[in-house]
């Protein structure tokens, strides 16, 4: 089919992402020593090891950790590739965030266990929110955010983008997310947009950061993707294809089952090259059982 002659999608199809039951499932990234990271996340952050699997024929292992069961919580999926001890995080990936009732106490505990504190706890510049930053053994940054209570302690994935308005449109249209909050800080030359499926304190959000004048970042080979559930991978994939034609991006895997485990997925890159995988919700729950 010649470019520009693609069929016009129906309004019903384009509305699908907002009607679909979606939630963030996990963030996937690579680590150089699985046991070292599991120890750090469980002892310093208070995460639980939810499951671990070794796939020797593919030469990798992975572990899922979080603050609650995968059926209801956002978790991290750590991948260890046999023999690879370090990765390049790149300049585009920002941080993960953990909400905790007492940032000062958490930092004390992490320091006592030998953790690397890259920003001491205290209020944000020009605000009242208390935060701190910690670096994990592979160099991934975790922001600690003080919140009295939260149903989702693992509460942010921050990625840098080259055009904030384009990214907001992409995540709204392709993934049915809401713009939960937008902040422009001209004095510090950056803007952020929080994208998610509920309010910031209730769920995990994608924090997209635009630094004035910076349109490109290096991706490195450490951070991989986020996975999001959908009730219909095929319909969701169709919407993504239309949005990519309009705003940019690339489909990296057409909708269909993964050989061997039969979970239906589709994956794609946003206009900045950040990857998302959409996973059939029923298949995902079956996989957990």
Q: Which residues have a catalytic role annotated?
A: 143
DSSP labels, 204-215: -EEEEEEETT--
E strand or H helix at 100: strand 93-100
CA dist 28 and 5 (Å) reads: 36
3-state class (DSSP) for residue 250: strand
Q: How far apart are CA 61 and CA 78, in angstroms?
A: 8
Q: Give the DSSP per-residue string, 179-225.
A: EEEEEEEGGGTEEEEEEESS-TTTS-EEEEEEETT-------SSEEE
Q: How far is Cα 148 from Cα 130, in angstroms, rounded to an integer?
A: 11
Burial classification of residue 63, based on how many CB atoms lie within 10 Å of its CB (0-12 exposed, 13-18 middle, 19 or more buried): buried
Residue 205: CA atoms inside 13 Å, Cβ hemisphere, count?
22
Say how far apart CA 113 and CA 117 lie, in whole Å: 11
Residue 235, φ and ψ in degrees, nearest 5: -65, -45
CB contact set of 5 (below 8 Å; sequence gap of 6+): none
């Amino acid at each position: 089919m010649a470019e520009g002659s693609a069929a016009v999608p129906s309004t019903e199809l384009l509305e699908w992402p907002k009607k679909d039951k979606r939630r963030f499932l996990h963030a996937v990234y690579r680590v150089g020593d699985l046991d070292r990271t599991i120890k750090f996340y469980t002892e310093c952050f208070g995460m639980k090891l939810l499951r671990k699997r070794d796939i020797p024929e593919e030469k990798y292992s992975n572990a899922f950790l979080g603050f609650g069961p995968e059926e209801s919580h956002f978790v991290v999926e750590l991948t260890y590739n046999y023999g690879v001890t370090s990765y390049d995080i790149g300049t585009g990936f920002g941080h993960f965030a953990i909400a905790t009732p007492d940032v000062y106490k958490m930092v004390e505990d992490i320091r006592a266990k030998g953790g690397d504190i890259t920003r001491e706890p205290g209020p944000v510049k020009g605000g009242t929110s208390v935060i701190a930053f910690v670096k994990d053994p592979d160099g991934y940054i975790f922001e600690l955010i003080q919140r009295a209570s939260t149903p989702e302690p693992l509460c942010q994935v921050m990625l840098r983008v080259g055009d904030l308005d384009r990214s907001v449109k992409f995540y709204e249209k392709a993934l049915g997310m809401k713009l939960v909050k937008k902040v422009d800080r001209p004095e510090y030359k950056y803007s952020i947009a929080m994208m998610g499926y509920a309010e910031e304190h209730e769920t995990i959000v994608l924090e997209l950061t635009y630094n004035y004048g910076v349109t490109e970042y290096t991706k490195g080979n450490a951070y991989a993707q986020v996975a999001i559930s959908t009730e219909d991978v095929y319909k969701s994939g169709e919407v993504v294809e239309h949005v990519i034609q309009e705003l940019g991006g690339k489909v990296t895997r057409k909708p269909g089952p993964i050989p061997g485990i039969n979970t239906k997925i589709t994956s794609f890159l946003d206009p900045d090259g950040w990857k998302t995988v959409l996973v059939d919700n029923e298949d995902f729950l079956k996989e957990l059982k």
